[in-house]
Structure 1
Amino acid sequence: MNLFQRCFTLVLCLIPLSTSFVIAQDVSYLEGTIIDFATNQSIPGANVYWKHSPTEGVTTSQEGIFKLPTTKLPAVLIVSFIGYEQVEREVTSKDLARGLKIYLREDEMDLQEVTVSSTRPDQNVKSLDMGKSVVPIETIKNIPALFGEVDILRSLQLLPGVQTAGEGTTGLFVRGGSADQNLLQIDGAPIYNPSHFFGFFSVFNPDAIHGVDFYKGNIPANYGGRISSLIDISLKEGNFDKIKGEGGIGTISSRLTVDGPLFSDKSSFVISARRTYADLFLRLSSDPNINNNDLYFYDLSGKTVFKLGEKDKLTVSSYYGSDFLGLSGQFGFGWSNWMGAATWNRNISDRLFFDLNAYSSRYNYKVSFDDADNGFEWGNALGETGFKATWNYHVSDQTKINWGSHLQFYHFASIDLEPAPGSAIQPITSNPFNGLQLNPFVSVNHEFSDKVGLEAGLRWSLYQQHGRGVAYTFEDNIPSPEAVITDSLTFNTFEKMRGYHGLEPRLALRYLLREDLSLKIAANRAFQYLQVASNSSAGLPLDRWILAGTYIPPIRGDQFSVGIFKNFKNDTWEVSLEGYYKDMKNLIDLRQGASVLFTDRVETEILVGDGYAYGAEFLLRKNVGKTTGWLSYAYSRTWRKIEGISFDRWYNPRFDRPHDLNLVLNHQFDKQWSANLTFVYTTGQAVTFPAGSYVVDSQRLPLYTGERNADRFPDYHRMDASVTWKNVDKGKKWRGSWNFSIYNLYGRKNPFSYQFTEIFNDEINFTPTSTEPITSRRPGTVMTYLFTFLPSLTYNFEF
């Protein structure tokens, strides 16, 4: 029995033993749950304390549960949370024998807020979190958006330390990491391509989302698989009392979400749908070159919740999204995401909690070309199936232990190129890639005193690449396009091909200098066993995912960070300054002129090397008042060094953008009118411009020196604005609001791409004719920009 099998057997044996723990209930504590009256969902981060002792309270957990030491009864209990009416309730000794359920109503007099955290006001100072943001959906919905389409990933780009690949894209580059180094998951299930419309919109419909937890620093030990960030998205749970709905009609798409009780008040459902109608507008054109095209995306999501008893809850959720681009029936390009997840939550005792999550995720993409001589259809699919068991044990108010295990199975299907009948294209079939990964983990959170807190965790990732598959042996054991294949080995299903493992320690320490000032440090190691091989940094649907194997080892990422956090004026203002250094091993990049889509020996097109990144991030945020928002600035650099690229010297990837400034403002005039403004400034992305040109067969071609990304686009900056009018009369069954937004308010022509070509007759798009021949030609540079002044109008509604 090998090491992997022994560890897997040990973890399976520990699971039934762990569930047998029985912790006696401590009657010196008052327990309960805080619930939103309108949605019937639990409220994390609510403040709970005795009226006569307001400084000795607690906050509710992610499940809305609190546990407060008792006092002399009867006594008055206070529950408060930002945006809700404060509740005062008298508690007697009879309440100790049963769990309390306290419902909070939204405060009608509160002004709309823009926050990046839904937890207690001083959570940024007193918690152990570094580089984490809990982003409320209401915050995201207030930010002016491209085409009026509210977008989660584009909103995260406004946080310090998060870069973008270019105009309009939703790809995230976090603290010097590439887009494939971010784990995006919905209810625990990963999404491999989180974009619609070639990256202009993300796949997450904001009406279907309950919350977004964004980690870019100290990622807890119960998460892993990526070295840069985690974007943990939870779908909204349905209302248990009545049918409700919300939606919107926008410039290019519409959406609808309906939720309510399913069979009884013990179960609920949510179903959400969104579709663009760009293809309907194309049909209105009289030009056959336009009206014969297809261009659309849509997505569907749903979630059901079953309360199995006082201690058990089962949730089942699913998502499906699809995109398609078709040009005159000759060219077709489409992709889709599907995921399904089920989670069982059980309160084993008042201190021990168990969660079991099972999921499956699949990503498909294909290209077709209808041509009599060169027609073909090319397709690929990849997927992941997993099981994750987690136990949370609250030893005391000062100590919490979290442990469990995560099992993952990867299946990357073979790439198939099927020629059309009569086509001269030759068929191609590649071999599949499979992987199995086991991740036991444990972490301890302990408060040594009011000033000192520590979180220590350890994750052990054990990975195997296994069959069915084929492994090639190359001359001198160095894969390259010119290398001679000396042997090949065929592996059967689940037969081990190559294995890796690594320990991933996590550590965070907080020292409270004053009640409103703290110093934090964190260290984090992670391994990543899959990467993307791509010619573009923007994250295209055709990017090919690569599993770790014989010639491609896993990435190892080590991050060290330190930060200081301060609050002002009773937590009205927050300010933080964080610095980080990240070391990365075994990064991949493509050889010059590489092609990875149609090869079965992808390792011959890839080079492996190292990288590092460092930076400093500043955030100033105002949480309450008529005017709210934040100002962020980040200085960051990232470098790569890979033998065979840029003369074996250090070079910047395209997403290296040293300066990044973001301003987000929201002003609430009254209950009906509000206005929002965002401003973005970043250094231009790193690119490779030609050093000259040369002529071949009367055509002028650009000449490159081999040095990668030594040039830059001009600096990028943009201002967006929006105004919202709401019908706040909650006595009506139907409530609507209008949002008018302007993307790129002052019409900045930010470059999307540059083309180095020949200019004829001093016209960019000149086409010679018999009456107007070519009279002059010169080398030139053509800049393409996507958007200038772009207004949009959206009608949102609730019922």
Structure 2
Amino acid sequence: MNTRLRIGVFVALCSPIAITAARAQQPAPARATFSGYVRDASTGENLIGVAVVHPASHQGTSTNTYGFFSLTLPATGDTTRLLVSYLGYQRQLVPVRLDKSQALTIRLQPATSELQSVEVVGAREEQIAQTTRMGTVNIPLSQIKAVPALFGERDVLKVLQLLPGVQSGGEGQNGLYVRGGSPDQNLILLDGTPVYNASHLFGFFSVFNADALNNVELVKGGFPARYGGRLSSVLDISMKEGNMQEFHGEGGIGIIASRVTLEGPIKKDTASFIVSARRTYIDLLARPLINLVMASEGIPRDERPTVGYFFHDLNAKVNWKLGQRDRLYLSAYTGRDKFYSRFKDTYGNDGEYSKERDGLGWGNLTSALRWNHVIHDRLFVNTHLTFSRYQFDVGIEQEERRRDNGVPRTDKFSLKYLSNISDWSLKSDFDYVPLPDHYVRFGGQFIWHQFRPGAAQAKSNDPNDNINFKIGTRTQAQEASLYAEDDYKVTERLKLNGGLRLNSFLVRSKLYPSVEPRVAARYLLTEDWSLKASYARTTQYIHLLTNSGIGLPTDLWVPATPKVKPQKAQQVALGAARNLRFKDEDYELSLETYYKPMQRLIEYREGASFLGTTDSNWEDKVTSGKGWAYGAEVFLQKKSGRTTGWIGYTLAWSKRKFAELNNGQIFPYKYDRRHDATLVVIHQFSPTLRLSGTWVYGTGNAVTLSRGRYTLGPNLYEFDDYGPRNSYRMRAYHRMDLDLSHTKKKKWGEVVNSFSLYNAYSRNNPYFIYFQSGYQDPYGNVERKPSYRQISLFPVIPSFSKSFRF
């Protein structure tokens, strides 16, 4: 794109912003601006996405990520009312006078019962048919906590896998494959800070504790200009801010893990805190069983190794209300998985022994310092400084004490391999609401990346070994971006969101600039029916080297370099949305089609892996190619009433092409699935009894299997002919989960007992397929034919968990 064309695109997309600025220079009618925050009356928590509407003029807005809103109306001098509405809260009418601007703090009361419905006469909040955004889904946390879960562990990522256009990596996995993309193409934000590995237990659980969360939003397409750096999706997760009124706590005890969350005021109405912790005890539960097995095999107690695995999470957040216009937040998260093995063997009578410690660990550390400031009643700014690091490491330590010619001697040896990525980021986001027909956002970000794809260190105290070495260096890169966007109501029927994002990435003296136009539009056919369209160009400057595709800790994060270029994609989407009302119940229906070509994707070359990978050689292990993803999605959702849930269906294709893989021919992506269907139902029989269930169906994963095996040469070398890549399909996957929860009210709070069934009808779903050789008896009779065998991971799994709140 030449310079003139870039300037033209920028002017065209940002013209609403320019028009707004020009109008600000002209004499304008007198106006009154009502701005401030909407908060939970009982906790002081800022509420996100609350509708603030002026019914008389049908003008409205909604609160941003920090609960701030601004609504400008003609200053007529009349007394009127603002309607404030949010799911799960009682709607409120706020009296105001249209004579001057006013700062408001609106406190909404939680609904007295989830089973009640409230009828409101007048304008309603912006529904799915009115909004310009496409491919965006917000799941209420109450539904996330109600969906059945494996081992009773409520998991945000597993709930998101139940949405159309989102797939899991396999049985029990929580990787997100969004619209044909890979896990590294998802930007996962926790309080605005990127999380590079969102998995525990090799992908079976996520790092997010639902008790500590306030809002979860997934963007699959039609990306606003404020988001950048990934090709497939944005998962924006906000933590709770802590109760400013009184001390509260909640937690749970499950089969494999327990959790606890505490929150309360540091100074009432001024400062608050929240701390949330979780830990598994798989290692403690498994240890007696492992000892029984080793005892049955005759292994003496003093010769048994100690092995185990556990993970833990810790979230913490403090916020200070510095004044009516300023608020300061400090938040942090740390989580780690640890697999360990310890062994000690004592021999002889002189204190001789040998011992070994092995370990595999991986985890995240994030922190954020944020400052919210209301510059004036129409302009809000959020500035935050963040740090994020992900690291995995493998280590071996050996020690031997022996006597050499009667002289005691202790030999020590250690070997460690690690890989990590860390970021420092400074970002400012501005929200400017000059008129109800304009919602302008603009800002910028600078990121300092540091990559260490692989480093090895070995130490020995034996001078004869000569194996003391350290291999691996760091690669540093700088990323900068600017963006501007405007959600502009052109007419009552036509609404646009136009924006532009400018990026740059500097690594090893190589600069990669990028211009990314973004546009989305909706046209109202009726008050409840709309047509939508969007276009987004995206660039990703970091890659994930993976062998498995399921987000194992051995996956390595690497940067674009002069030799390996950044990934690029475009996404075009068309769709329709409808607000439905049936028997006094509200539903949302959306239909979307999309097409997403991707360039400069990378994969390991045939036979390459992370083993031995260092900063200096990883570029020689990869090859570059392109991909295509396209399909259609249907989503019907109900968020309130006795019965809630959704139905989703996806018809999709995802393909790849690499010159050095599969003989340069196009092949289906490993998680290319033709059909995906999901049903989620949550029914509240009474305020204390709830039944929920999910049913999922998906076309089987694509895998590569040998078409034949040949014996060659005098040494009888066996050769496998694998044929085209991913040319075989596993059996279709389907599963039903159920959960029954009963709440008991106590004087001090409440206790919820939950009984759940994972894979309720015990479907033998394929996890992987292996080849089983045949054999003959000594007379040449075939005793077993060679065949492929399927391994299924989980049968029906019952579980019980107990949660509490006070």
Q: 2:639 aligns with which of 605, 623, 647?
A: 623
The superposition leaves residues 467-507 of structure 1 with CA deviations (integer Å, 9 ceiling, x where unpaired) of: xxxxxxxxxxxxxxxxxxxxxxxxxxxxx2x2211101101
Report the equivalent of 2:408: none
Measured in 2, the distance between the counterparts of 1:227 and 1:654 equals: 18
Deviation at 1:440, TM superposition (A): 1.1
Letter aligned with residue 300 of structure 1: L
Contact 1:45/1:120 (8 A) holds in 2: no
1:649 partnered with 2:665: yes
Shift of 1:443: 1.2
TM-score with structure 2 setting the length: 0.86
Match among 374, 382, 392 for residue 355 of structure 1: 382
SS at match of 1:28: strand
| Shift, 1:515, TM fit | 0.2
Distance 1:77 1:123 in 2: 18
- More divergent stretch after superposition (192-201 vs 67-76): 67-76
- 8 Å CA contact 1:521–1:562 kept in 2: the answer is yes
Identify the residue that residue 441 of structure 2 maps to in structure 1. 402
Call closer, same or farther: CA 1:389–1:669 in 2, change over 3 Å: same
- State the alpha-carbon separation in 1 of the partners of residues 539 and 244 from structure 2: 41
Which amino acid in 2 is paired with 1:223?
Y
* CA distance in structure 2 between the aligned counterparts of 1:121 and 1:386, rounded to whole angstroms: 35
Aligned residue identity for 1:340: S
Residue 221 to residue 54, structure 1, CA distance change in 2 (3 Å): closer
Structure 1 partner of 2:544: 532
Instruction: State the SS of the aligned residue for 2:602.
Output: strand
Q: State the Cα distance separating 1:366 from its structure 2 match.
A: 0.9
Tell whether 2:735 aligns with 1:718: yes
* 1:328-384 CA-partner distances (Å, limit 9, x unpaired): 545421111101111111100011111111101011111124568997321222211
Per the TM alignment, residue 325 of structure 1 is displaced from its structure 2 partner at its CA by 1.1
- Structure 1 counterpart of 2:241, from 220, 224, 237: 237
What is the alpha-carbon distance in structure 2 between the residues aligned to residue 102 and residue 545 of structure 1?
44
After the TM superposition, which of the residue ranges 164-173 and 703-712 deviates more from structure 2?
A: 703-712
Shift of 1:623: 3.1
Whether the aligned pair in 1 keeps the contact of 2:80 and 2:98 (CA below 8 Å) is no
Structure 1 residues 624 and 380: CA distance shift in structure 2, 3 A: closer
1:284 positional shift: 2.5
Q: Is the 8 A contact 1:180 1:531 kept in 2?
A: yes
Q: Is 2:85 aligned against 1:80?
A: yes
1:261: Cα distance to partner? 1.0
Residue 322 (structure 2) aligned to one of 308, 312, 335 = 308
Offset at residue 604 of structure 1 (A):
1.4
TM-score (norm. length: structure 1): 0.86
Which has the larger strand fraction?
2
Contact 2:764 2:795 in 1 (8 A): yes
Structure 2 residue corresponding to 1:785, chosen from 782, 789, 792: 792
Equivalent position to 1:585, from 572, 591, 599: 599
1: CA distance, partners of 2:209 / 2:29 = 42
Residues 22 and 349 of structure 1 are in contact (CA less than 8 Å); yes or no, is this contact kept in structure 2?
Answer: no
- Deviation string 1:666-692 (CA, Å, 9 cap, x unpaired) is 111111111001000000111001112
CA shift, 1:233, in A, is 0.9
1:417 maps to 2:456: yes
SS in 2 for 1:669: strand
2:745 is the alignment partner of 1:745: no
C-alpha distance in structure 1 between counterparts of 2:131 and 2:530, whole Å: 9
Give how far 1:135 is off.
Answer: 2.1
1:395 deviates by 2.0
1:242-253 superposed matches below 5 A? 242-253=246-257
- Equivalent residue of 2:44, what SS? coil
User: Within 5 A, what are the aligned runs for 1:19-58?
Assistant: 28-49=32-53, 53=56, 55-58=58-61
Task: State how far apart, in whole Å, the 2-side matches of 1:654 and 1:125 are.
Answer: 35
Aligned-partner SS, 2:751? strand
Q: 1:390 is matched by which residue type in structure 2?
A: D
Structure-2 separation of matches of 1:705 and 1:184: 36
- Aligned runs of 1:205-224 on 2, under 5 Å? 205-224=209-228
Q: Deviations over 1:439-485 (max 9, x none)?
A: 1111122111111011111111111113xxxxxxxxxxxxxxxxxxx
Q: Which amino acid aligns with 1:748?
A: R
Distance 1:160 1:447 in 2: 29
Alpha-carbon spacing, 1:778–1:739, altered in 2? closer, same or farther (3 Å): same
Unpaired runs of at least 5, structure 2 = 4-20, 118-122, 295-303, 344-356, 400-411
Question: Does 2:475 match 1:436?
Answer: no
Q: Distance in 2 between matches of 1:134 and 1:314?
A: 26
Q: Using the alignment, how far apart are the partners of 1:698 and 1:709 within structure 2? A: 30
Cα distance change of structure 1 residues 46 and 571 upon mapping to structure 2, 3 Å threshold: farther
Partner of 2:300: none
Residue by residue over 1:255-287, the C-alpha shift from the partner in whole angstroms, topping out at 9 and shown as x without a partner, is 001011124531111111000011111233333
Distance 1:728 1:699 in 2: 72
Secondary structure of 1:531's counterpart equals strand
Report deviation, 1:603.
1.6
When the two chains are superposed, the root-mean-square deviation of aligned CA atoms in Å is: 3.0
Of 318-327 and 616-625, more deviation after overlay is shown by 616-625
Q: How does 1:629-708 map to 2 (within 5 A)?
A: 629-695=645-711, 703-708=720-725
Q: Could you say what secondary structure the match of 1:413 adopts?
A: strand
Q: Give the whole-Å Cα distance in 1 for the aligned partners of 2:719 and 2:697.
A: 31
Task: Find the counterpart in structure 2 of residue 470 from structure 1.
Answer: none
* Residues 59 and 120, structure 1, Cα contact 8 Å, conserved in 2: no
Identical aligned pairs, as a percentage? 36
- State how far apart, in whole Å, the 2-side matches of 1:259 and 1:694 are: 65
Cross-structure match for 2:11: none
Q: Distance in 2 between matches of 1:143 and 1:112?
A: 21
Equivalent AA in structure 1 for residue 129 of structure 2: V
Counterpart-to-counterpart distance in 2, 1:795 and 1:309: 40
Aligned residue pairs, count: 732
2:561 aligned partner:
549
The equivalent residue for 2:349 is none
In the alignment, is the contact (CA less than 8 A) between 2:742 and 2:754 conserved in 1?
yes
Equivalence for 1:342: 369
Helix, strand or coil: the match of 1:233? strand
**1:653 & 1:357 partners in 2: Cα distance?**
38
Contact 2:35 2:68 in 1 (8 A): no
Q: CA deviation at 1:81?
A: 2.7
| Structure 1 residues 38 and 760: CA distance shift in structure 2, 3 A | farther
Kindly indicate whether the alpha-carbon contact (under 8 Å) linking 1:187 and 1:233 is maintained by their aligned counterparts in 2.
Answer: yes
